[in-house]
Amino acid sequence: MKEETAVSNRVDSLIRAAEKLSIVNEILRHENQGLRETLIDEKKRRKRGKAMGLSNNDRPGEAQFYSPTKVALVRAKAAEIEAQKEADRLRVQEEKARKQIEKEEKARQVQEMKEIRAREREAKKRAREEELQAKLAARQIQKEARASKKAQSKSQPKARQKTAPLQPEPPKQVKLPYARSGQRHRWL
């Protein structure tokens, strides 16, 4: 009985702890959500207009009045500056896109050139192989022709050719070299 009550007490304490943790978790979630909403509202409030530059800094203490035409001119100038910034941003984006397209095109061309070179190498290799095979076939044919000629010459006795008797060659005349003076040297 004591064991059951000890176990049930432990289980009860675990259940209470889990309930407390879930309640604390729920409170923290609501607080977090409220803080997020407050942060978003604060950011919205901080979006203020920019100074238009109408104030006269020469006389800061005096009351200043602005005509509607001056205000309209300053607003038009601010809109023009904003449009210029937007145009610059768009130009930069277009330039990035153009460069990316050029990069992809160049990569595609490089890949095509690699493929063309590989095909050319393959064609040259095949041509060399065919040329080598043709040379080997020609050598084999020549070898067979020589072997058949040799076999025919062995089967037929050789007819001896009559040679003319050798006659001695007439002696060559040796010209003696001349010296600078025009006289012949006799020692040769």
Poorest-confidence range of 4-8, 39-43, 55-59, 151-155? 55-59
pLDDT at 67: 82
Poorest-confidence range of 10-19, 55-64, 73-82, 93-102? 55-64
If one counts the domains in the chain, the total is 1
For the chain, give the percent of residues with pLDDT over 70.
Answer: 79
- Is the full-model pTM beyond 0.85? no
Task: Give a yes or no: residue 26 inside a domain.
Answer: yes
Task: Give a yes or no: residue 103 inside a domain.
Answer: no
**Count of CB atoms situated within 10 Å of the CB of 25:** 10
pLDDT tens for 121-166 read 999 999 999 999 999 999 999 999 998 888 888 777 655 555 666 6
Task: Give a yes or no: residue 146 inside a domain.
Answer: no
Of residues 2 and 21, more confidently modeled? 21
Task: Give a yes or no: residue 56 inside a domain.
Answer: no
What are the CB-based long-range contacts (under 8 Å, 24+) for 60-66?
Answer: none
Q: Output phi, psi for 54, to 5 deg.
A: -90, -20
Of residues 74 and 22, more confidently modeled? 22
pLDDT tens for 87-105 read 999 999 999 999 999 999 9
Average pLDDT, the chain: 85
Q: Cα–Cα distance between 40 and 33 in angstroms, integer?
A: 11
Task: Give a yes or no: residue 21 inside a domain.
Answer: yes
Q: Cα–Cα distance between 29 and 134 in angstroms, integer?
A: 86
Task: Give a yes or no: residue 34 inside a domain.
Answer: yes
Task: Give a yes or no: residue 115 inside a domain.
Answer: no
pLDDT at 19: 95
> Which range marks the domain in which residue 37 is found?
11-42
Tell me if 74 sits within 8 A of 49, measured CB to CB: no
pLDDT (mean) for 69-78: 88
Task: Give a yes or no: residue 167 inside a domain.
Answer: no
The confidence band for 78, taking pLDDT boundaries of 50, 70 and 90, is confident
